[in-house]
């Protein structure tokens, strides 16, 4: 690692000004919810940071996570930060292939033992090792092997973090998440389908600045980026509060930018930073573009009912149940009514009228 | 690995909802048939008034308290009226509730401002608390109250409080929403098996009393 250029040199070579770099550090500091006074410290740490070795493993995935992270409105400073790490293995991006690529991975793992960052995207199939292999090595074996010497493990995307689409019912490959296999080391989950590029670089910057991982919630997500729901920070929230909802994607409410709750927006139950950091360099995010949040950063979001059904609406058809229940109710009602009538008749037949004479005797 | 409360919410939206609707319909049909199948002996005395008009009149006259009662029981009468209308508006005119009805039965109608519903919820819960205190503080009312009176109070208040919390982002939303949906389902399922059945029988029972009195030429 010592013979690799530090970030300061990489940035200088790429023509990034000091001012631009400081602005980026201030943005990162803000993103990480640190006090503004921490910006110089972040800058200092990043400037002097050696380029950490990163090994990126892609398993059952669609490459969307890589697309998101590497194409972050290039050429951006985030992109440069990403280039400033030493990406020693990423089979989609690297030039080497086949045995040469695997040799590079093994060499990096050996040279940087205990120091490298392991980033994983995609879920791991346990149903059959043959469902997904790289150079004849099963995903599970490669993950376990690479995790041994990693300084930190980052599961990028909903598939690596929670199983994602491959794990959706009926989970034909027996897919699991990284943290279901690696249980002896902390795993940072950066869910999303795909995750926001700035969130990824924010976690990396935190690692470089503080030589440690950010605070995580119970699902392994950095609290700073996943602490709030989309609904909490949505600019359309006032319309929800006022009860103004779009009923269709092209009605008057939609044109006026009203709340998309009724169109199935999953913002209330989805934790992510889309509403604040946004996408494409802060240009927009799905709700701003007129489509409800689909909850892609939540575990099992594919199995959480229709993407276009309100978050509290029923997911099941009640017609057959209602029909059976009503029919059973008719049967039970008729039976109870018959019993009541019988009981009444019996009581009437057994009762003996009290005569005036008897009443007199009792007195 | 799932978001806390998500499994519960998904169960509530699926199986829980089916069970609640199933139990509710079964119970309601059973109770209504049982009630309407009850018979009295034929009244052979000549009628002194019209039963139908007496019954219809009583359906409406019972909205107004009998003379003297308003002064005697102000909290119950005023609070009771506001509480019932509050509940009606909260359940049937909060837009997300209309969305549930639309997704279930395919019918919908315009809702009212969520801010108004929010305020109504606070008022309705406050009235429920007052009514509970009034019940507990008066020795006779306390004596006349049984477990079911307190149980249906709780059954009504939990969906209101959890709904308020969900709307105002108090507590973890997913868990709070799951509790809200489940408590509402419990309320729906138990309506036919508790005194809450009056939500479906108040018209017929008023008519029955009114018609009975009307035939005798008296007012109910």
- Report chain B residues whose CB lies below 8 A from the CB of A326: 25-26, 29
Q: Contact B10/A328, CB-based, under 8 Å? A: no
Across chain B, what does the average pLDDT equal? 93
- Report chain B residues whose CB lies below 8 A from the CB of A271: 3
Show the CA angle centred on residue B185, arms to residues B183 and B189, nearest 5°.
120
Compute the nearest-CA separation of B184 from chain A (Å).
Answer: 12
- Per residue in A17-64, pLDDT (tens digit) is 777 777 777 777 776 777 778 778 777 777 777 777 889 999 999 999
- Per residue in B143-187, pLDDT (tens digit) is 999 999 999 999 999 999 999 999 998 999 999 999 999 999 999
Minimal CA–CA distance to A42: which of A58, A30, A54?
A30
Third-level CATH fold of A228-315? Cytochrome-c3 Hydrogenase; Chain A, domain 2 (4.10.480)
Minimal CA–CA distance to A206: which of A14, A38, A23?
A38
Give, to the nearest 10 degrees, the angle between helix B95-105 and helix B74-93: 60
Average of per-residue pLDDT across B127-133 = 96
- Report chain A residues whose CB lies below 8 A from the CB of B30: 329, 332-333, 336
Residues near B93 by beta carbon (within 8 Å), at least 6 away in sequence: B111, B112, B117
- The CATH superfamily of B6-35+67-215 is Transmembrane di-heme cytochromes, Chain C (1.20.950.20)
- Please state, for a pLDDT cut of 90, what percent of chain B lies above it: 82
Q: Where are the domains of chain B?
A: 6-35+67-215
Helices within chain B (DSSP H only): 6-11, 17-36, 51-61, 69-72, 74-93, 95-105, 114-137, 139-144, 147-167, 173-190, 198-215
Q: Contact A326/B26, CB-based, under 8 Å? A: yes
Q: Contact A336/B39, CB-based, under 8 Å? A: no
Third-level CATH fold of A7-226? Rossmann fold (3.40.50)
- pLDDT exceeds 50 at position B22: yes
Please check whether residue B155 touches A, CB under 8 A: no
Q: Where are the domains of chain A?
A: 7-226, 228-315, 320-357
Give, to the nearest 10 degrees, the angle between helix B17-36 and helix A319-350: 30
Residue A71: what pLDDT?
65
Q: Which residues of chain A have pLDDT under 70?
A: 1-6, 31, 71-84, 362-363
- Please state, for a pLDDT cut of 70, what percent of chain B lies above it: 100
- Report chain B residues whose CB lies below 8 A from the CB of A305: 10, 13-14
Q: Are A228 and A259 in contact (CB under 8 A)?
A: no
ipTM of the complex: 0.85
């Amino acid at each position: 690692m010592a013979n690799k250029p530090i970030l300061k040199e990489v940035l200088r070579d790429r023509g990034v000004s000091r001012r631009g770099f400081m602005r980026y550090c201030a943005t990162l500091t803000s993103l990480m919810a640190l006090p503004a006074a921490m910006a110089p410290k972040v800058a200092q740490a990043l400037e002097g940071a050696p380029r950490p070795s990163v090994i990126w493993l892609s398993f059952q995935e669609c490459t969307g996570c890589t697309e998101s992270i590497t194409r972050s409105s290039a050429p951006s400073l985030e992109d440069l930060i990403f280039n400033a790490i030493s990406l020693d293995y990423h089979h989609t991006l690297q030039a080497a292939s086949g045995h040469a690529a695997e040799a590079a991975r093994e060499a990096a793992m050996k040279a940087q033992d205990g120091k490298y960052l392991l980033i994983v995207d995609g879920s791991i199939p346990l149903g059959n090792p043959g469902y997904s292999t790289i150079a004849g090595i099963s995903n599970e074996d490669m993950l376990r092997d690479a995790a041994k010497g990693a300084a930190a493990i980052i599961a990028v995307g909903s598939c690596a973090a929670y199983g994602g689409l491959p794990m959706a019912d009926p989970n034909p490959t027996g897919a699991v998440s990284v943290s279901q296999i690696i249980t002896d080391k902390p795993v940072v989950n950066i869910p999303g389908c795909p995750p926001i590029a700035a969130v990824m670089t924010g976690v990396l910057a935190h690692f470089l600045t503080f030589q440690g991982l950010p605070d995580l919630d119970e699902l392994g997500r950095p609290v700073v980026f996943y602490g709030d729901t989309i609904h909490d920070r949505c600019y359309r929230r006032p319309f929800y509060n006022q009860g103004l909802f779009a009923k269709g994607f092209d009605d008057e409410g939609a044109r006026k930018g009203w709340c998309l709750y009724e169109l199935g927006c999953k913002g209330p139950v989805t934790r992510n930073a889309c509403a604040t950091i946004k996408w494409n360099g802060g240009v927009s995010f799905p709700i701003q573009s007129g489509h409800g949040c689909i909850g892609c950063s939540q575990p099992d979001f594919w199995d959480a009912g229709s993407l276009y059904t309100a978050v509290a609406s029923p997911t099941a058809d009640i017609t057959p149940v209602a029909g059976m229940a009503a029919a059973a109710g008719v049967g039970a009602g008729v039976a109870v009514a018959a019993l009541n009538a019988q009981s009444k008749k019996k009581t009437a037949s057994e009762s003996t009228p009290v005569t005036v004479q008897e009443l007199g005797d009792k007195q | 690995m799932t978001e806390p409360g998500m499994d519960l919410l998904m169960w509530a939206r699926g199986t829980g909802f089916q069970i609640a609707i199933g139990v509710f319909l079964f119970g309601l049909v059973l109770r209504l048939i049982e009630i309407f199948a009850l018979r009295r002996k034929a009244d052979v005395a000549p009628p002194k008034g019209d039963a139908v008009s007496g019954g219809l009149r009583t359906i409406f006259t019972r909205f107004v308290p009998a003379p003297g009662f308003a002064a005697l029981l102000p909290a119950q009468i005023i609070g009771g009226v506001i509480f019932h209308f509050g509940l009606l508006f909260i359940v049937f005119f909060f837009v997300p509730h209309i969305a549930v009805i639309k997704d279930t039965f395919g019918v919908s109608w315009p809702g009212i401002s969520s801010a108004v519903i929010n305020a109504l919820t606070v008022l309705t819960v406050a009235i429920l608390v007052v009514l509970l205190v009034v019940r507990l503080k008066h020795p006779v009312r306390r004596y006349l109250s049984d477990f079911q009176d307190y149980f249906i109070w709780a059954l009504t208040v939990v969906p209101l409080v959890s709904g308020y919390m969900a709307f105002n982002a108090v507590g973890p939303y997913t868990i709070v929403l799951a509790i809200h949906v489940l408590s509402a389902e419990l309320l729906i399922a138990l309506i036919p098996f508790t005194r809450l059945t009056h939500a479906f029988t108040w018209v017929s029972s008023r008519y029955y009393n009114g018609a009975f009195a009307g035939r005798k030429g008296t007012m109910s």
